[in-house]
Structures are given as structure tokens and as C-alpha cells.
Structure 1
């Protein structure tokens, strides 16, 4: 008796499973049949009721058609971005060589503009001289004033001039670069090492020989000029520090980095990534990078050369 009951229950469970499986299969067939059912779209002439154009398409065909259309549009957009010069207009894609050429062309345009202004002023003055717009009396007055200038004043020095020269010689006699106080930056294109908010400015009186720039974590730090890495390592006070020697005796220093991407002896280009930002030390202040710029042992204010 128990065997019959168990057999009946087992048979009932098998039937239920078979029924459930068949119901799911029928639903799948109905769905697939519905997807493959074609629909007709016709266009008629309103005056003659003549069928002009007919379009037959199933739901599956419509899905495949629009999927292919999206893939074609996406592929075309990717080709325009990657395979054409349009990629240079994307933010952050401009190469270092292209940036250098753009800056060089801008400097050349400024130089040509200044040269054209000088030529225009020269031609204008020459035209005035040839047409007689310059008064001869003014030239004679200048000549007469030069001839009548007392020559004795060049030979004698006042007491103020003498005291100034003595004080200047006393202050400058221990300096090695008295005759050349200008910093050679002609033709140099300084790249900003990082874009961010300046937390602390250049203040050599308080032994702060650079600027502190706030930036998010894991952001690229770029070299400001072409050069060679002369120091790269970790310090307890400043985290990972990297120093680069540039031409014309320039040295740039980058402190409080979380990771260095270059080592000693590596050649770098202006704008090339050399480190990543982050909490370089155990202090709890936000991530920042201290950037210093030196020339022949003299600390320079980076804001005078770079637009942050």
C-alpha cells in the first residue's frame, strides 16, 4: 500500500515537471514565433490609392537592423577620432611634440609681428623724410644742443655718484655673476608640472623655495623642460623626490610624490610624465606637489615663467 502511494506521488511529480517544461517550451516557441513574425508597412497614393512602397520586417530583423546601424555609427565615429587629425582636438590627447610646435609657432608669429611693426615704423619715418614732413629746424636744434653741451660734466663726478659707486662695489665684490644678471630663457617653453590650486607661494624668506600645488591622488606630474634625471629617490621628509637637470644651468625639483616613473640618467622631454601625485609622507595634509625651479644656485619663482 505504501509502495503504491509513493509510486503515485512520484508519478505526479514527474508529470508536474514535464508539464512545467512543456509550458516553458511552448512560451519560448511562442516568443520566437512572435519575434520572427513579419509586419508589413505600406505607403499608398492618397489620390489613386495605389500602393507605392512596401516594407516587410520582423521584430528580430528590426533589432538586428538597428544594432548594425549603431555599430556602423560607432565604428565611423571611432575611425574619425583615431584615424584622422580630429583626435588632436580632444582634451589631453595632444602630444608633447605637437604642443612644442604650437608654442614655437606662436613665438615665431609674435616675433614676425614685432618685426613688421618695426618695418612699418621705419618706412613711415623714411616716407616722412622723403616727403619733407620732418622739419629741418628741429634737426638743427638737436645738433646745436649736442654741440653746445658742456663736456666738462662728463669728467667730473658728484658726491652722490661717488658714494653710490663705492657702496655698489662693496656689495657686489663677492658675487660671481655681476656682469650677467639676466636669466637666459629665450626659446624655452616651460610646461606646467601639474594643474591645480596653489596652496603656498614662493617665499624664500621663510625657506620655502618653491610653490605647493594641490592636486588629486594618482595624477600625472610632468617635466617642465627637456633634461636628464640627476636624482630620484625616497626621503622621510618629502616622500619621493625627483630632480632634473636642464640646459642653461636650470634645475627643477618635484617633491611629495607617491610614485616615480623615471630613474637617474633617464632623458625626459618637456611635458613628459615623470611621477604620480599622492600623500608622499605620513602627514595628514591633502595630496600636493612642491615644485622648485633653480638657476645657477638661485631659487626662482615658478609663477614668473609658468602659467598655473
Structure 2
């Protein structure tokens, strides 16, 4: 019973109003007063805390106030940077896929004996916008005429220096024989034709990787090697291929055999050399 009486007394005291007044310090007269109970003070504090919580929640949800907080600003910057990096990676992957498709298409054209085509980049590619060509000057035209002509400084007349450059490259001869067909793009000859012994050994001109090894009715077995410096060597008219795609080959290693005798004739061995996606004269790189 005593406990119940204590609770009742405490409950009544909670709602019992108290008088708060303000007195003048000079004559001790009352200037202002207010009646408050402990329950009303508690309700006022709860209401104030609730309003403060709602205001804080509204500021966080509908204003950029979090950007000014050190920790939250760092997380926002990281998210933004991560998004930008992912976009850049996707763009780079798309370019790489396009380059790989173009590369495979050019290899297929090379195998068919046709000239590969260069991919035309879209104008939206901001990193590879075509630059404005500078027109050659009169002096440049004169120098070009001297270099391409038959004069003292003509490139065609420097046979000895060209041989030294070819020997410095150190590319091995694919097969011993006599060149019967010269390199001529205008006539569709993207390489040289070599008359070699039937079933003779065909070797790699340099270290590389096999990117194609297949057979066609027109050219027999074909082997394509990828070398350093964007150099590709193509071996056609083989009677047998001893390599597989993806295999690593060393310079001078056996990759196949020359065509065998058919109807009393031997098909000429064809050798092509491509540099940066363009056919080049093998005699400018290899001393046959």
C-alpha cells in the first residue's frame, strides 16, 4: 500500500503546476510569471527533440550538406571517380574489340590474297580525330624528287647500305631457292615466289607465335607467324604444316615442308611479309 501511495503522490506531483516568476531586484515586485509542471517541461523537450530530428533529416535528404562533411565527401568523390574510371574502361574495351576485329579481318584478307583495308574511325572518337594535313613546301618537293630519283642521293642507288640494314635485322631465310616472282602490289603480288626443292624444309624467319595454320585448295597449307615489332610472315603452298595456332616458334625452327611434285611440277613457294598491317618487300628485310 505504501508503494501505491508513493506512486500516486509522484504521479500527481508530475502534473502539479509550479509557479515561475521574475522579480525586480530593486523593490522585489513581480514582473513576470508562468505556471509549468514537470510533465509539460518533459513534453516540451520531447517536442523540441522531435522537431530537431525532422529538421536534420530534411537537411540530409534534400540539401548537399553532406558534401561539406569530411568523411561523406570522400565517399562521394570515390564513387564519382569509380564511375568515371568504369566508363573509361568500357570505352577502351570497345576500341580494343574494334581493333581486334579489324586485325582478324585483315588477316583473313591476307589469306585470300587480297589487300587489307584500314578501319575508318568515327568522327565521335575524340581521341583520334584526324589532323589537318600540312601542304608540302617547294623545298620538300625538291628533296623528295632527289631522294626518289636517280641522282647522287637517291635511295634506290644505295644497294650496299640497304644490304647492311637487312643483315642487321637478322631475319633468317625461310627456304633456299631462287626468286622467280618479285614483290609488286600493283599486280597483286604481296610477296615473293621462290623456286625451291620439292618437300624442302620451310623454317621460321624469326622468333614468333603461330596465329594461323590452315589448308586451302588454292594455296595448300598456310602458316602465319606474328613477330616482334608488328611484323607478320606468311608461308604459302606448303605440303605439310608442323605447327598449331598459338604455338611459340624460334628463329630457324622447322614449321613445314615445301610443296611436293604434282604432274611433274612443283608449286612455287610463296612468302609474304607484312609490317604494321601493310605488305612490304621481303627482299628489303631478308637476304635471299
- TM-score normalised to structure 1 length: 0.39
Larger radius of gyration: 2
More helix by share: 1
* TM-score, length of structure 2 as denominator length: 0.41
